[in-house]
Structure 1
Amino acid sequence: MTTLHAKHVLLPDGWADDVTLTLSDGRISSLTGEAADMSVDILLPAPTNLHSHAFQRAMAGLTERRGADKTDSFWSWRQLMFRFLDQLTPEDVQAITAQVQMEMLEAGYAASVEFHYLHHQPDGAAYDDPAEMSARICAAADQTGIGLTLLPVLYQQGGVDGRALGAGQIRFGNDMDSYMTVMQAAGHLIANMPADARLGVAPHSLRAVTPDALKHLQAFQGPIHMHLAEQMAEVDEVEAAYGARPVTWALEHLDIDARWCLIHCTQMTDKETRGLAQTGAVAGLCPITESSLGDGIFNGVIWGEAAGKWGIGSDSNILISLNEELRTLEYSQRLMTHNRAVMATANKSTGRVLFDGTGQGGAQAAGRACGDIKVGQWADLLALNGDATDFIGRQGDSILDTWIFAGTDAKVSDVWAAGRHVVKHGQHIARPEIAEKYRAAMMRLRNVM
């Protein structure tokens, strides 16, 4: 049992001063005003990072050149990614994932949802353990202490027309039988992890899985994640094959509800935006990656008007920064609408709306009891350094506004993931060991990238 005093704390019904939390078995067991083992300045519910491809972190900075073609796009980036991942060993993936998870924790995230599709060897052959790569993700989470929702990805085909997987995709590929073998093995892994770990399913996209597979997987009673309507070329391909745009087709043919998290959704009509918002599904937004890849801008205004739920993911992990993801989301809305404080409401500032939204949406998408500081929730907690000069004279929601729009993740002092105190004084407790293994992996990969 741990007791933690906060000078200022964000509770579900607003800000409070001088609150002491008791943490037992990873959960918040009481909120009192008593003395405590330690004290922090500003305490917030730590959000969940709802969409990550951990291995892509090692590619950061390597895709900012183009050849003779002046229309470099997501699709050319994708070919570079395929060539890169062919070099990755299971040991590399574990080292990279641990580095990514450590950086997430230091940025203020308490949990990560890993959209995990790198299942096989470079030639497409299965490992002796069908969940070898899933085991590496879990091993990294054991080392970092991050809360994990693992999503083994089903990837069946190279396009909506059913063409075979290309050379860069064969490490992803499974038919339904082999995928269920991976899922069963992944389930055993999750069962042997801390109690807050979760397992979900992830049909990769409408391009990569068949309608029959989607109908089968949507029976899963837990998180269901899928890329949807990210790129214009994807929209055109799905519409040509299925006679409807991706979101329209999904609304008409899938039982979308609160279990679902649809990633990106940057190519939606206003009607599709309202329709998808009303299902209760979470929109998984990745503003830094979507900006990097030129995906487009999420229709946040109409989504908000329809009371849609959303959360934040770091996706390609080129930059892991919680406050910059939130800032980029709001700024994209300002650029699209030519207004300021677009996400704000009459009762909540922009920063408060952004922070509350990502906490609650991430919790739902991860199947994780978190997102608020209240009794019974996992103790996913984020402390900010109140002595930072940016916070002088700031109170209430202006603390969040200042951190998100005028600060950096360096303001994060401590993070707890299901009660595990993994970031102290701004640094992960195992940073030297994790960074050294990542450095060794990158030194090896530099000769093949």
Structure 2
Amino acid sequence: MQVIWAKQALLGDGWARDVSVEIDASGRIGAITPDSPRPAAAHLAETLLPAPANLHSHAFQRAMAGLTERRGPDPRDSFWTWRRLMYRFLDQLTPDDVQAIAAFVQMEMLEAGYATNVEFHYLHHGANGQPYQDIAEMAARITAASADTGIGLTLLPVLYSYGGLDRRALVAGQDRFGNDPDRFAQLYEATARHLATLPADSAMGVAPHSLRAVDRHGLEAAIALAGPGPIHMHLAEQIAEVDEVQAALGARPVEWMLANTPLDTRWCLIHCTQMEPHETTALARTGAVAGLCPITESSLGDGIFDALRWRAAGGRFGIGSDSNIRIALSEELRTLDYSQRLRDHSRAALAENARSTGRVLLEEAARGGAQAAGRNSGAIATGLWADLLALDDLGPDGQERTGDMTLDTWIFARDDRSVRDVWAAGRHMVQAGRHIRREDITASYARVMRRLAHEG
């Protein structure tokens, strides 16, 4: 059994002082005792928080960070020109590369304060779309990375069948993603076998990529495979996407999904930056989570999610790092709130009477991320997985600050260097601000990057 003693902790029912948290042998929170003396053998934390899940990641894209910031021949660079660059880049990646990149990504997530990686995994096959001998070879590499890093993993194999709503064939680059529903079912079963080698907190779902990449039959097949597990899907991210869906299906993406799909709490819809007000309200009421990736959405010029209207309708959200151009939990949360301020010319956009902006951001991201991950976590409460984050050095700004003000200082005045410790289902993987295997994981990633730079 591990024991953490925190000077202050954000519990499921609010802040408490002098809190002893016991983690049992299974990795769950066994007991919580506020107003307790510090046990002799306890690990000391200044501020203990629930550690959220990173609910949307494409691990391999981390190796592209910094490579796509020049203007191309297109005078109006966009998501679509970025995507063409991404396709050319991924042609070089081997299974060994993907494992090293994924481990580095997961390490950075843990050091930023995330306890779980929800991997939207669509790089399945080898060059020219040829499946590996083990059809789930790439999924095996993601699970191997998780075993190395100790992060919680929810793995979402992606169904990707077409290059557009006219069912056109996949182009070069996309062919490494492609499966029809029958082969995808084989991939799903093989992925489940690999995932079974991980600790009990790992989980699995499915991800029909988008309305552009799957037809109705594929969508229904993916939903059937998921059973009670999480279902994630890109939705209403780009104006051109909305126009294509409306032209082909006679409705905007969110309108079509609401009318044709049994949306519920299993679902996480990613981005949703191109929604009309009535769509936002109706989608929020389904119980689905909005999967928000503010840094990537800013990088790609996707647009601004209507978080205020979403929350007013009872909607939940979580945070993901998507393209992994920058893995920074506090910055994702800050960028989400700042986007609302910029759009509406307001301040403290997401704050409530009883909760500050920082507390709303962290608590809602933790709860929504847990739901999207299909993970029994999201708060510091007995019986939940011990997904925990300890803050320490808030610098001179943080002197004598407690409660909600601690979170506001971390998110709006500091950064993730204030994250001192992180536990994922009780696994104490970040200590004194560094992952316990940082040197080895970084060295492997650096070798991949040197080779890619030489060959590129």
TM-score by length of 2: 0.97
Asked if structure 2 preserves the Cα contact closer than 8 Å seen for 1:42 and 1:386, the reply is no
Which residue identity is paired with 2:15? W
Distance in 1, Cα, partners of 2:353 & 2:8: 23
- CA contact 2:317–2:364 (8 Å) conserved in 1: yes
Whether 1:237 and 2:244 are equivalent positions in the alignment is yes
Q: 1:387 to 1:216 in 2, by over 3 A?
A: closer
What is residue 81 of structure 1 aligned with on the other side? 86
Any stretches of 5+ residues in structure 1 without a counterpart? Answer: none
Q: Is the 8 A contact 1:218 1:255 kept in 2?
A: no
What are the Cα deviations for residues 258-299 of structure 1, in whole angstroms up to 9, with x where unaligned?
000000000000000000000000000000000000000001
1:122 aligns with 2:127: yes
Which amino acid is 1:79 matched to?
Answer: R
Q: Is the 8 A contact 2:8 2:18 kept in 1?
A: yes
The residue identity in structure 2 corresponding to 1:4 is: I
Please tell me whether residue 214 in structure 1 is matched to residue 219 in structure 2: yes
Identify which range, 180-189 or 65-74, moves more after superposition.
65-74
The one-letter code of the counterpart of 2:219 is: L
Query: Which residue of the partner structure matches residue 268 of structure 1?
Result: 275
CA deviations over 1:43-87 (Å, ceiling 9, x no partner): 001000000000000000000011342210000000000000000
Contact in 1 for aligned 2:115/2:424 (Cα 8 Å): yes
Indicate the percent of aligned positions where both proteins have the same amino acid: 62
Q: Which amino acid aligns with 2:437?
A: A
For 1:133 and 1:13, how far apart are their aligned partners in 2? Answer: 41
Q: Which moved more, 1:35-44 or 1:175-184?
A: 35-44
1:397-416 CA distance string (max 9 Å, x none): 00000100001100000000
Contact 1:46/1:109, CA 8 A, preserved across alignment? yes
For residues 47 and 160 of structure 2, the distance between their equivalents in structure 1, rounded to whole angstroms, comes to 43
Q: CA deviation at 1:447?
A: 2.0
Q: Which residue of 1 aligns with 2:266?
A: 259
1:18 — aligned with what?
18
Q: In the superposition, relative to structure 1, how do residues 60 and 397 fare at CA in structure 2: closer, same or farther (>3 Å)?
A: same
CA distance in 2, matches of 1:71, 1:331: 25
For the residue of structure 1 that corresponds to 2:114, the secondary structure is coil
> How far apart, in 1, do the equivalents of 2:47 and 2:359 lie?
14
Alignment partner of 1:171 is 2:172: no
Note the alpha carbon deviations across 1:155-190, whole angstroms, 9 max, x for none.
000000000000110000001111111100111111
Amino acid at match of 1:88: L
In the alignment, the residues of structure 2 paired with residue 389 and residue 414 of structure 1 have an alpha-carbon distance, to the nearest angstrom, of: 20
Q: Give the distance between the partners of 1:145 and 1:390, measured in 2 at CA.
A: 32
2: CA distance, partners of 1:387 / 1:119: 42
Kept in 2, the 8 Å contact 1:203–1:214? The answer is yes
What does 1:30-179 correspond to in 2, within 5 Å?
30-32=31-33, 33=36, 35=39, 36-179=41-184
Could you list the runs of 4 or more consecutive aligned residues of structure 1 that deviate by over 6 angstroms after TM superposition?
Answer: none
Structure 1 distance, partners of 2:198, 2:43, is 27
Shift of 1:386: 4.8
Determine the C-alpha separation between the residues in 1 that align with 2:397 and 2:137. 45
Q: 1:307 aligns with which of 310, 314, 321?
A: 314
Distance, in Å, in 1 between the alignment partners of 2:384 and 2:251 is 41
Alignment partner of 2:358 out of 332, 343, 351 = 351
CA distance in 1 between partners of 2:395 and 2:341 (Å): 28
Equivalent position amino acid for 2:31 in 1: S
- Cross-structure match for 1:415: 422
Which runs of no fewer than 5 residues in structure 2 stay unpaired?
none
Task: Give the aligned residue type for 1:183.
Answer: Y
How far the C-alpha of 1:212 sits from its partner, in A, is 1.2
Code of the residue aligned with 1:223 in structure 2: it is P
Task: Provide Cα deviations, 1:325-359, integer angstroms capped at 9, x if missing partner.
Answer: 00000000001000001111121110011011100
- Residue type at the aligned position of 1:9: A
1:305 counterpart letter in structure 2: A
User: 1:368 — aligned with what?
Assistant: 375
What per-residue deviation string (whole Å, max 9, x for no partner) do you get for residues 297-335 of structure 1? 001111011011000000000000000000000000001
**Does 1:324 pair with 2:325?**
no
Whether contact under 8 Å (2:180, 2:218) holds in the other structure is: no
Residue by residue, what CA displacement relative to the aligned partner does 1:109-132 show, whole Å, maximum 9, x if unpaired?
000100000000011101000110
> Aligned AA for 1:144?
T
Give 1:11 shift.
0.5
Q: How many residues align?
A: 449
Per-residue CA deviations over 1:199-230 (Å, capped at 9, x if unaligned) read 00000000000111112222322100000000
Q: Letter of the aligned partner of 2:168 in structure 1? A: R
Deviation at 1:389, TM superposition (A): 2.4
Instruction: Give the secondary structure class of the aligned counterpart of 1:317.
Output: coil
**2:444 maps to which residue?**
437
SS at match of 1:393: coil
Q: CA deviation at 1:38?
A: 1.6
The alignment's TM-score, normalised by the length of structure 1, stands at: 0.99
